[in-house]
Structure 1
């Protein structure tokens, strides 16, 4: 999460998760005052990390790597699935299941949508009432295949004092492993393979390389990345 349209960039993240990559949610802003003044101050978007009882740098980094995070420019989120916390993996035998999702929202500005996303699609919408700044609910989520689930909150418009396009927050995923089934989307993997191929073509055509070795190293890395996505698209 950064200076971007958060829902649009989330869609790219969802597609990467659908390819089987376990990528936690993080956030950060640059410290360029001439740019930040157009969208809000540095620190506008933040990552919240569950480190446990003690807080130190090593535990904080380990918790980010483990995906025990949520990102936000205003709303605060709570999310468990099947009794497991953000960043956890739930292992289930093959077949259909129903998992209880417990969600919580606390916000200093109104929120229009509180949703659970599963494998890139909205699988549950939590109703909001009153001033739309607080919610607590439990919903049952049907699960039949391996995947991932996040809780997100957002508004349809900007809301002061949040100096951003709109209030937004999202948890990192809770992962579900059903039997031995892999998390894969051939469609999403093919999209990234094509994306990298376009970058690769642009890099081959570029003439501003510092050295030939630099050019070859970049092209090698593009090729390796494209091969990974091509394999997951099969």
Structure 2
């Protein structure tokens, strides 16, 4: 009996050892990605997973969460087995995918082709994004792999500052390739009231000692404004301090395509921001609709704040440039003019569909004017490129969907329809994909209409919305130190007065 047990144990041991040896057997694999038509190798992002769904890393290439990027060709040593692969290069290219097998003692060469679906730079539209948390040394390959043209990198935020122990480079702005730019002094102040992003500064703001609620973010916003060319972005519309930041008039843009919208999922809550009514706006896509709803309230108050985009790659499960903003500049990309175009609203934001619209031949951000008693009549045309199914395109006028054209109807003519104004207001065009996992969409920046003396439409409902919000925010301030509390509350009290005054001047429901 003992001999039998010993023999059986030995047999089991050798079976396990052989299985383990087989599991560890590897074979060389080369992946080559080319552009269909030209045959040139193209930088790209690769999502390679084994049979158990575990992402594969490529040695010495940038990796994050579930993907790595490569310059167009990568050589790997992979365990024998089956793999799935998805390859992308931003929204202007097709997706390549496949199921692959690595065989014992067999070298594999896997070739993939990506088709260019649209050439927006060739049309004069230049892509960028404002929320990148990836290592500076990786940014050039990351941008090339996503066909992204502008990307300031966040290198300091709250208790972290890359430059505390490293000397900043002499050139904070870098141009590489033919037409790509990044900047290495981007910053973020993310605390109780939400997050502000800072760009085009010469050095970090002194925020590392800031507490959760004190000092007010307004203090650092004011410091940033002392630097010519500085840009301040409200990272998401639903942060609690948004009414206070808006009232200050110091913000330059706001994140309509933001990092709660991810490639494969949606962050369904507002984190510690102002929560939505989930019965009215249920998950998973309700947060995306809430984001847009708040932005429309901003526009309904007569505030002209252009939309921006950011993915927070390096923190949240997004590739660089998943959420992006396209700015129209024409044939040549200039870094400073890109920001000027963003400020002017000659733009659209997207995390998938590519929506280029004109009204009466003019770009988003345009202002259409008429004398009192006259009408403004507009014809809207659009170009749309999408990898996702889209049921229709919508025109949002003064915060409400004014008209909708089906995708099939639009495809026949390229027209969305006609729009009429007999008083001042605004409109934009949006397309929301039929994706149930995340909020995948595109939206133009607003177009504006000015008729008569009242050039800006101010809605009582929207002004009241922000007045109620800032009053609720005041009640949420928790600071034991009375002088600190008074200092923080002073900014909210000033904002409360702003919204109350605006409400008293409202000229529309």
Please, what TM-score do these two structures have when normalized by structure 2?
0.41
Structure 2 residue aligned with 1:148: 426
Q: CA–CA distance in 2 between the matches of 1:108 and 1:135?
A: 20
Q: Do the aligned partners of 1:106 and 1:134 also contact (CA within 8 Å) in 2?
A: no
Q: Please say if 1:25 is aligned against 2:307.
A: yes
Distance 1:172 1:21, change over 3 A: same
CA drift at 1:19: 0.2
Match of 2:331 in 1: 53
Task: Tell me the secondary structure at the aligned position of residue 407 of structure 2.
Answer: coil
User: Which residue in 2 is equivalent to 1:177?
Assistant: 450
Change in Cα spacing, 1:142 to 1:60, as seen in structure 2 (3 Å) is same
CA distance in 1 between partners of 2:367 and 2:386 (Å): 28
- Confirm whether residue 207 of structure 1 aligns to residue 489 of structure 2: no
Whole-angstrom CA distance in 1 between matches of 2:413 and 2:453: 36
- Give, in angstroms, the shift of residue 9 of structure 1: 0.3
Q: Does residue 100 of the first structure (1) align with residue 389 of the second (2)? A: no
Could you tell me whether the CA contact under 8 Å between 1:111 and 1:167 is conserved in 2? no
- Going from structure 1 to structure 2, the CA distance change for 1:126 and 1:97 (only over 3 Å counts) comes to same
Distance 1:45 1:216 in 2: 38
> Which of 218, 228, 231 pairs up with 2:498?
228
Distance change in 2, residues 1:233/1:43 (3 Å): same
Q: Deviations over 1:159-207 (max 9, x none)?
A: xxxxx6032110100110011123100111011011001111221xx12
Alignment partner of 1:217 out of 471, 487, 502: 487
Are positions 1:186 and 2:455 aligned together?
A: no
What's the offset of the Cα at 1:32?
3.5
**1:32-69 superposed Cα distances (whole Å, 9 cap, x missing partner):** 44xx23xx334321111112332122111111111111
RMSD: 2.2
User: Conserved in 1, the CA contact under 8 Å of 2:353 and 2:386?
Assistant: yes
CA distance, structure 2, for counterparts of residue 31 and residue 134 of structure 1: 38
Alignment check: 8 A CA contact 2:380 2:417 kept: yes
Question: Which residue is equivalent to 2:158?
Answer: none
* 1:74 shift after superposition: 0.7
Higher strand residue share? 2
CA distance in 2, matches of 1:185, 1:137: 29
Report the Cα distance in structure 2 between the residues aligned to 1:101 and 1:26, rounded to whole angstroms: 22
TM superposition outliers: structure 1 runs of 4+ over 6 Å: 132-135
1:71 Cα deviation from its structure 2 partner? 0.6
SS at match of 1:201: helix
- Aligned 1:55-134 pairs, distance under 5 A: 55-95=333-373, 96-129=375-408
8 A contact 2:393–2:416 mirrored in 1: no
SS state of the match for residue 342, structure 2?
A: helix
Give, in whole Å, the separation in 1 of the partners of 2:413 and 2:379.
16
SS at match of 1:83: coil
Unaligned runs of 5+ in 2: 1-256, 261-286, 505-509
User: Looking at CA atoms only, which structure, 1 or 2, has the larger radius of gyration?
Assistant: 2
SS in 1 for 2:414: strand
Match of 1:167 in 2: 440
Pairwise CA distance, 1:128? 1.2
Taking the aligned partners of 1:208 and 1:14, their CA distance within structure 2 comes to 36
What is residue 161 of structure 1 aligned with on the other side?
none
Aligned partners of 2:391 and 2:406 also within 8 Å: no
Classify the secondary structure of the residue corresponding to 2:402: strand
Q: SS in structure 2 opposite 1:122?
A: strand
Paired residues of 1:153 and 1:169 also in contact (CA < 8 A): yes
CA distance, structure 1, for counterparts of residue 426 and residue 306 of structure 2: 11
Q: Give TM-score scaled by structure 1 length.
A: 0.85
The alignment of Structure 1 onto Structure 2 pairs a total of residues equal to 220
Residue 166 to residue 134, structure 1, CA distance change in 2 (3 Å): farther
